[in-house]
Amino acid sequence: MWTALCLIVMVNWMLNSLTTGMEHLTTSSWRRLSGQDLAVSGYEVWARGRSKVECIRECNKYSHCTSFVFNVSSRTCYLQPALDNTANTAHLGLVYVNTEPDCSVETAPTLNGSVNWAHTLTSLRGKVTCYDDFINTTNDVFVQCNADGSWEWEGGCIQYVWKDPPMSMFPVGLPFPVKSGWSVCVEGIPTSNERFTVELMTASGSQPLHADFRFRFDSAVFNNTIYLGYRLINGSFTGGQGYDDFPFTVGQLFRLGVKATNNATFEIYVDDIIRATFPQHPELPASDVTTVNVRNNVTVTRLDLWCNV
Ligand SMILES: *[C@@H]1O[C@H](CO)[C@@H](O)[C@H](O)[C@H]1NC(C)=O
Ligand SMILES: *[C@@H]1O[C@H](CO)[C@@H](O)[C@H](O)[C@H]1NC(C)=O
Ligand SMILES: *[C@@H]1O[C@H](CO)[C@@H](O)[C@H](O)[C@H]1NC(C)=O
Ligand SMILES: *[C@@H]1O[C@H](CO)[C@@H](O)[C@H](O)[C@H]1NC(C)=O
Ligand SMILES: *[C@@H]1O[C@H](CO)[C@@H](O)[C@H](O)[C@H]1NC(C)=O
Ligand SMILES: *[C@@H]1O[C@H](CO)[C@@H](O)[C@H](O)[C@H]1NC(C)=O
Ligand SMILES: *[C@@H]1O[C@H](CO)[C@@H](O)[C@H](O)[C@H]1NC(C)=O
């Protein structure tokens, strides 16, 4: 009785999995296809095999093999990275596909770009072309699936232009470090006769540029003024200067550009005309800027974290 039970358990176990030494072979996720699935192509490798199980074993030797065709009469396994029934209509045998592959294009994470996939028996790798309004952070952006099913990136696509109000992303991080010649552009509409503020901030919370556009502010001397200053790491505002050229009207669209020049100044453009030049603080260089913030009485309609002014 005990022996018979053991035998049943063993036979069951052998039917479900086959082992040679330490290797444990899972076959349950493999499904045989029929009908139109039989139109296959794209073999990279073939191997001798007397059964489906031997073909699965051959397929498993390659990290990204997820399909094969088993030709019973010629005892051949044609291995493929993925089922490809688009190209030729040769019927070479029984088609199998792994319904639970570790890696497939379908399970790829969503990226901010279109992907051109290259799927081979040993890799699944895609070259990413960033969508409009997204920028590549490395020369080439790649995504790939590792043999264990985890995904890996080389670079990425980060949004750097926003055009759809309401703008809820402030304060917004820059995709890459500021170099001299960098400009940020803000389009918007002042919403009240008070002020709006543009802040170029560092990771430590200081502001190499604190730009306040003041219709009216508590201090009488600074009405209708572009007021530029710094915010130190301890939170104090300092170095403020007022500029009288104030071309803003409540309810009217403006186009503001702030440029970090190569001679250690910030230049402020409004509607393509330079309105102010402000020195950079020696201890707060523009290259430390990581984040841009826009706040107070304004509706932003467009933000470009990299623009030409
Ligand atoms: C198996 O391969 C042989 C020789 O390549 C071919 O003639 C035959 O049609 C194949 N069998 C099936 C079922 O497709
Ligand atoms: C993004 O791609 C362009 C063109 O392929 C390249 O010139 C540029 O250097 C890349 N950007 C970065 C940060 O590598
Ligand atoms: C896609 O873009 C958004 C916004 O810039 C960013 O938060 C996200 O990390 C990006 N996704 C990838 C996979 O790069
Ligand atoms: C500036 O605005 C403040 C606040 O509204 C007001 O009290 C003050 O009279 C204004 N100053 C000038 C010179 O217009
Ligand atoms: C912040 O630092 C500056 C310069 O070191 C100093 O003059 C100012 O008093 C400090 N402010 C505060 C609030 O500690
Ligand atoms: C800084 O350089 C720009 C050109 O890059 C020039 O127009 C401007 O006058 C310079 N400003 C100062 C303060 O030297
Ligand atoms: C202007 O902005 C300030 C600060 O964000 C806010 O308290 C105030 O209510 C705003 N004024 C109007 C008219 O919305």
Query: Would 17 be classed as within a structural domain?
Result: no
Distance CA 67, CA 120 (A): 11
Residues 147 and 84 in one domain: no
Please give the distance, rounded to the nearest whole angstrom, from the Cα atom of residue 280 to the centre of ligand 6: 13
Residues 149 and 246 in one domain: no
Q: Comparing C-alpha atoms, which of 268, 271, 292, 297 is closest to residue 280? A: 268
Distance CA 44, CA 78 (A): 8
Q: Is 32 in the pocket of ligand 1 (CB under 6 A)?
A: no
Residues 150 and 199 in one domain: no
Q: Residue 116 is part of a domain; what is its CATH number?
A: 2.60.40
Residues 47 and 87 in one domain: yes
Give the pTM: 0.77
Residues 178 and 297 in one domain: yes
Distance CA 185, CA 257 (A): 4
Residues 271 and 137 in one domain: no
With H, G, I as helix, E, B as strand and everything else as coil, classify residue 261.
Answer: coil
Q: Which helix (H) or strand (E) holds 304?
A: strand 298-304
pLDDT, tens only, 238-278: 999 999 999 999 999 999 999 999 889 999 999 999 999 99
Q: Residue 90 is part of a domain; what is its CATH number?
A: 3.50.4.10
Structural domain count of the chain? 3
Query: Would 67 be classed as within a structural domain?
Result: yes
Tokens for 8, please give them. 């049943």
Please give the distance, rounded to the nearest whole angstrom, from the Cα atom of residue 271 to the centre of ligand 3: 31
Ranges in the chain, pLDDT < 70? 1-23, 34-43, 85-91, 220-221
Please give the distance, rounded to the nearest whole angstrom, from the Cα atom of residue 216 to the centre of ligand 4: 6
Q: Comparing C-alpha atoms, which of 293, 285, 304 is closest to residue 212? A: 293
Which residue's CA is the nearest one to ligand 2's atom 5? 139
| Minimum-distance ligand 3 atom for the alpha carbon of 112 | 1
Report which DSSP code applies to 306.
S
Q: Is 92 in the pocket of ligand 1 (CB under 6 A)?
A: yes
How far is the CA of 81 from the CAs of 60, 62, 125, 200, 301, in angstroms? 11, 9, 12, 49, 47
* 119, 139, 158 - which closes a domain: 158
- Give the residues surrounding ligand 2 with Cβ less than 6 Å away: 136-139, 176
Query: Would 65 be classed as within a structural domain?
Result: yes
| Minimum-distance ligand 7 atom for the alpha carbon of 192 | 13
pLDDT of residue 252: 98
Domain with 68 in it: 28-98
Residues 121 and 154 in one domain: yes
Distance CA 230, CA 299 (A): 24
Query: Would 281 be classed as within a structural domain?
Result: yes
| Phi, psi for residue 2 in degrees, rounded to 5 | -60, -40
Residue type, 21: G
Please give the distance, rounded to the nearest whole angstrom, from the Cα atom of residue 178 to the centre of ligand 5: 26
Residues 91 and 203 in one domain: no
Residues 148 and 166 in one domain: no
Which residue's CA is the nearest one to ligand 6's atom 11? 263
Query: Would 3 be classed as within a structural domain?
Result: no
| Residue to mutate (ligand 2; options 132, 136, 142; most atoms within 8 A of CB) | 136
Q: Residue 176 is part of a domain; what is its CATH number?
A: 2.60.120.200
Residues 132 and 241 in one domain: no
Please give the distance, rounded to the nearest whole angstrom, from the Cα atom of residue 253 to the centre of ligand 6: 28
CB of 269 closer than 8 Å to CB of 309:
yes
pLDDT, tens only, 125-153: 999 999 999 999 999 999 999 999 999 99
Residues 183 and 229 in one domain: yes
- Average pLDDT, rounded, for the chain: 88
CB of 72 closer than 8 Å to CB of 56:
no
Residues 110 and 191 in one domain: no
Q: Is 53 in the pocket of ligand 5 (CB under 6 A)?
A: no
